[in-house]
Amino acid sequence: MDVHEYQAKELLASFGVAVAKGAVAFSPDQAVYAATELGGSFWAVKAQIHAGARGKAGGIKLCRTYNEVRDAAKNMLGKRLVTLQTGPEGKPVQRVYVETADPFDREIYLGYVLDRKAERVRVIASKHGGMDIEEIAEKDPEALIQVVVEPAVGLQQFQAREIAFQLGLNIKQVSAAVKTIMNAYRAFRDCDGTMLEINPLVVTKDDRVLALDAKMSFDDNALFRRRNIADMHDPSQSDPREAQAAEHNLNYIGLDGEIGCIVNGAGLAMATMDMIKHAGGSPANFLDVGGGASPERVATAFRLVLSDDNVKVILVNIFAGINRCDWIAEGVVQAAKEVKLSVPLVVRLAGTNVEAGKKILEDSKLDLITADSLAEAARKAVEAGKAAKQ
């Protein structure tokens, strides 16, 4: 799960990481009020979306007057911000963050990531702040400073000092940087983070070290014990279909193809998508109905898949173990009748109660296409999709 910049900064500040003063606003007038409360004469107005590269897309504006603050907020709120990380559809801006824009001397990159291959937390830093980590790695890979944290002891002070000295900081700045590096690690660890990026981490003229921007992602499976973080979830930043799927405990990811997939099991879903590509088609989604798919959940899955206007055919591929084919068949029949199916439907059933499932489909008199193998089902789905386009 991702959170907004202002939420990440609230978490970091609670662990002792220094951040600039700021306030969130949901309207232009609130943005002006926030600027007056913060004081000063120079502010940054930042669009709050779950994506980076906002500055290049006009999502960050520096303002010197209250009128400029109001205009910046007005131009952002209610719009969709398209950045290099959002894709062409962009993300809606429903709130802005107004922050004091303190002058600074240097920008640094600092990041923490859960390295699943090493099964360790990896700390990454660079002298080149304000750039995407991919850009830094491509242009100057030797500039990356990396430390792998031993989980039994955690990040140590001497490791943080080594990072700070390699960043070229002076003695006074090193002390502040070590405190920031250690406290940010504690926030990452104690909140079950999977990614924390402070970019840029800035050094001010009076040798303070501030997190000028922050992005955090968290382990969804740990949110049950992090209710304060779970409450930060913003559904507007997710695909509405994915949000709807989560409400019904369905695993759904929207794609850009034309063959809607309803499958039980993540591995089988991936194999189904691969087979569709192999047959010359393109999957419209990843959808795993899970091991205990009832007829009601299958019907919900149908409605979810059909909410994508690009879907030209639906492929149901079920290998029943915990599930039962007759349950799935009942769900298929129920869904087809409820949603008044208008696209070709290809069904492949195998496993527990497969014969009973096939009989239910046959007795339903539905106009559907059956298949005995995954390869056959994928081929028939691609053929049906091509026919539907003609």
What are residue 153's phi and psi, to 5 degrees?
Answer: -120, -15
In single-letter form, the type of residue at position 82 comes to V
Whole-number average pLDDT of the chain:
88
Measured distance CA(168)–CA(182) in Å, rounded: 18
Residue in 230, 291, 228, 299 with CA at minimum distance from that of residue 264: 291
pLDDT of residue 294: 64
Q: Sign of torsion, CA 378 382 387 388?
A: positive
Q: Is 5 annotated as a binding residue?
A: no
Q: Is 2 annotated as a binding residue?
A: no
Q: Among residues of the chain, what percentage have pLDDT more than 90?
A: 50
**Is the pLDDT score of 59 beyond 70?**
yes
Q: Is 135 annotated as a binding residue?
A: no
pLDDT-based confidence at 248, cuts 50/70/90?
low
**Is the pLDDT score of 189 beyond 80?**
yes
Question: Are 295 and 255 spatial neighbours (Cβ–Cβ below 8 Å)?
Answer: no
Residue in 339, 344, 346, 284 with CA at minimum distance from that of residue 311: 284
pLDDT-based confidence at 254, cuts 50/70/90?
confident
Average pLDDT over residues 26-45: 94
pLDDT of residue 301: 84
pLDDT of residue 174: 94
What residues are annotated to the active site?
A: 109, 197
Average pLDDT over residues 95-121: 92
Q: Among residues of the chain, what percentage have pLDDT more than 70?
A: 96
Q: How far is CA 168 from the centre of its chain?
A: 34
Residue in 2, 4, 9, 3 with CA at minimum distance from that of residue 210: 9
pLDDT of residue 121: 95
**177 versus 133: which is more confidently predicted?**
177
pTM score of the predicted model:
0.77
pLDDT-based confidence at 390, cuts 50/70/90?
low
What are residue 324's phi and psi, to 5 degrees?
Answer: -130, 140
Most confident of 7-11, 56-60, 224-228, 261-265: 7-11
In single-letter form, the type of residue at position 119 comes to E
pLDDT-based confidence at 130, cuts 50/70/90?
confident
Q: Is 12 helix (H, G, I), strand (E, B) or coil?
A: helix
Question: Are 325 and 318 spatial neighbours (Cβ–Cβ below 8 Å)?
Answer: yes
**337 versus 112: which is more confidently predicted?**
112
Measured distance CA(264)–CA(260) in Å, rounded: 14
Helices (H), the chain: 5-14, 28-38, 66-76, 133-139, 157-166, 171-190, 227-230, 240-247, 266-278, 295-306, 325-338, 354-363, 374-389
Q: Is 383 annotated as a binding residue?
A: no
Q: Which domains can be identified in the chain, with CATH numbers?
A: 21-100 (3.30.1490.20), 104-230 (3.30.470.20), 240-389 (3.40.50.261)
Could you count the other beta carbons within 10 Å of the beta carbon of residue 101?
18
- The predicted-structure confidence for 321-353, as pLDDT tens digits, reads as follows 767 788 878 878 887 877 777 888 898 988 888
